[in-house]
Amino acid sequence: DGGITQSPKYLFRKEGQNVTLSCEQNLNHDAMYWYRQDPGQGLRLIYYSQIVNDFQKGDIAEGYSVSREKKESFPLTVTSAQKNPTAFYLCASSIDRRGQETQYFGPGTRLLVL
Amino acid sequence: GIQVEQSPPDLILQEGANSTLRCNFSDSVNNLQWFHQNPWGQLINLFYIPSGTKQNGRLSATTVATERYSLLYISSSQTTDSGVYFCAVEREDTGRRALTFGSGTRLQVQP
């Protein structure tokens, strides 16, 4: 089945630790996105990538880093510089062609700080 | 950046009732999408609708781009419609190809 997978479903981080969230898609989509959702809030854009080896900062990129070495994969690293990382993280992808930008979301990763 | 406001913030319905959710945005857009987030957090795209009207079963959506608003209609609501409905837009004529989300309408459908 085609879709977007995220792992792990739950992730625990200790103070000062970097953690990496995985996002993989087999939809052959060009564009991929990372969002953060806090309880009772909407989604905020962290980073996005329209093509392999290129990515752009979103609204809340500080304390996060990404890479896009393969079309199918867009991992997100939450660094120790992110002081309040507890949130629900959602990955999405789209074809990124005018008129067909429907975004499809993965199931999300819940990150908790110990 | 572009502002996206959704109303009402919360809505409680009895099963079988109809409802209208509204999304206002502050600037011209070339992309507008409606999403449903279920209680487990999964987001499902309902409509890609930068302008015009679309229908899918009991759901329909209308975007009036010139007046900067979109409406999502839910008819004959069911308990499975519960969750949060988000409107998201992409501002026109910018280099940024990504969506800005509203804060959502939380819908609870009671049996």
Confidence category of residue A98, pLDDT binned at 50, 70, 90: low
Q: Which residues of B touch A44 (CB under 8 A)?
A: 101
- A102 → closest Cβ in B33, B96, B103: B33
- Residue A89 pLDDT: 98
For the segment B39-48, the average pLDDT, to the nearest whole number, is: 94
- Residue B91 pLDDT: 84
Percent pLDDT > 90 in chain B is 86
Q: Is B39 on the interface with A (CB under 8 A)?
A: no
Beta carbon pairs, A and B, within 8 Å: 56
**Token duo for residue A48:** 């996005």
DSSP string over A16-82: T--EEEEEEE-S--SEEEEEEE-TT--EEEEEEEEETTEEEE-SS-TTEEE--SBTTB--EEE-TT-
Per-residue pLDDT at A100 exceeds 80: no
Q: Which residues of A touch B96 (CB under 8 A)?
A: 56
Per-residue pLDDT at B10 exceeds 80: yes
Q: Which residues of B touch A57 (CB under 8 A)?
A: none
- Residue A80 pLDDT: 87
- Residue A33 pLDDT: 95
- The verdict on a CB contact (< 8 Å) between A90 and B97 is no
Q: Which residues of A touch B2 (CB under 8 A)?
A: none
Per mean pLDDT, which range of A22-26, B27-31, B74-78 is the poorest?
B27-31
Per-residue pLDDT at A99 exceeds 80: no
Side chain identity at B107, as an amino acid letter?
L
For A32-44, write each residue's pLDDT tens digit: 999 999 998 899 9
Average pLDDT over chain B, rounded to an integer: 94
For A53-97, write each residue's pLDDT tens digit: 999 999 999 999 999 999 999 999 999 888 899 999 999 999 877
CA distance B46 to chain A (A): 9
- Residue B94 pLDDT: 67
Mutant choice from A10, A33, A88, A103 vs B, greatest count of B C-beta within 10 A: A103
> Is residue B76 within 8 Å of B12, Cβ to Cβ?
no
- The verdict on a CB contact (< 8 Å) between A48 and B97 is yes
Nearest to B56 by CA among B48, B65, B64, B68: B48
**Token duo for residue B66:** 């010139």
Per-residue pLDDT at B96 exceeds 80: no
What lies within 8 Å, CB to CB, of B16 at 6+ separation is B76, B77
CA distance B98 to chain A (A): 7
For B50-94, write each residue's pLDDT tens digit: 999 999 999 999 999 999 999 999 999 999 999 999 999 988 766
CA distance B18 to chain A (A): 24
Per-residue pLDDT at A1 exceeds 70: no
- Residue B103 pLDDT: 95
Percent pLDDT > 90 in chain A is 76
